[in-house]
Amino acid sequence: MKAVLLAKLALMTQLAVIAVAFSLGQVSAQTETKKTTPDDKAQQIVQKAIQVVGGDRYLSVKTVIGHGFFTEYKDGISGIPLKFVDYIVYPDKERTEFIGGGQRLIQTNDRDHGWIFDAAARTLKDQNPTQLEDFRLAMRTSVENLLRGWWRAQGAILSYVGRREAGVGRRNETVKLTYPDGFWIEYEFAAGEGSPAKVIYERKHKKPDSDEMEELTEEDRLLKPVTIDGVVTPYVIDHFRNGIQTSRINYESVELNKPVSDALFTKPANIKAIK
């Protein structure tokens, strides 16, 4: 559930120009070297998106507190919604509390560390490598990663993919981040207004009743944009796997730049110390 929530508010920041060197052979056997910027079209699309979602106000967001409901889907059918509250401190801290049916689950990440409290099982544990990787993947695939430019430190390359159908009479402009390890993420933006619309990537999952792995297409659809203090954020995020819906995040309220205590991310000494 955490990996889905981490993909959510994604609407932020800057991109830079990357120089790419290449050589051109001459008939005289002389070599001429040229430098070119990354795909200018992709850069323009992202810069437009930054302005659409709030520009400088958008870039100034440091914390987000969100309240709402998280619903899992099984074979496309919705389950019982769980209430949640989510605390984010950019760039890499998040605490999400799920409450419902007499249960309480807290998932907290702080950079490369994380812990989970499960009230029903009465357990307080460090996150395992798989859970930590889920957090890293969620950060990597978020729209924030694209707009804030975190991808640059990891050597990713930005490129323009083209326009895609997005419904009757609608098109989305698509850009792509490709990492040195081959992992890629595609981001779609409404061709007219330029707002973020979709995030698409592929991820390996274990087949049911088998140890064999298969690669499936994951997709976040960003819906119901709401303007808060001059910043536009989606209030509904639907997640799909191979075209079948697996979850929905539905916000009731979002607060920006409110104080968030560091104590929320510190692992308690024991269960009794959890607040």
pLDDT score, position 212: 85
Mapping DSSP onto H, E and C, the string for 112-161 reads CEEEEEECCCCEEEECCHHHHHHHHHHHHHCHHHHHHCHHHHHCCEEEEE
Please give the tally of structural domains in the chain: 1
Domain that holds residue 108: 2-273
pLDDT tens per residue across span 178-201: 999 999 999 999 998 999 999 999
Q: SS3 of 193, please?
A: coil
Q: Which residue has the tokens 């200018």?
A: 40
Q: What is the rounded distance in angstroms from the CA atom of residue 23 to the CA atom of residue 28?
A: 14
Counting beta carbons within 10 angstroms of the beta carbon of residue 158, is it exposed (0 to 12), middle (13 to 18) or buried (19 or more)?
buried
- The letter for the amino acid at 14 is Q
The CA dihedral of 170, 200, 81, 94, to the nearest 10 degrees, is -120
pLDDT score, position 213: 84
Task: Evaluate if residue 28 carries a pLDDT over 70.
Answer: no
pLDDT score, position 7: 42
Q: What is the rounded distance in angstroms from the CA atom of residue 12 to the CA atom of residue 177?
A: 16
Task: Evaluate if residue 231 carries a pLDDT over 90.
Answer: yes
**Global pTM?**
0.83
pLDDT tens per residue across span 91-117: 999 999 999 877 899 999 999 999 999
Residue 228 sits in a domain whose CATH number is 2.50.20.10
pLDDT score, position 100: 84
Mean pLDDT, rounded, for 43-64: 96
pLDDT score, position 5: 52
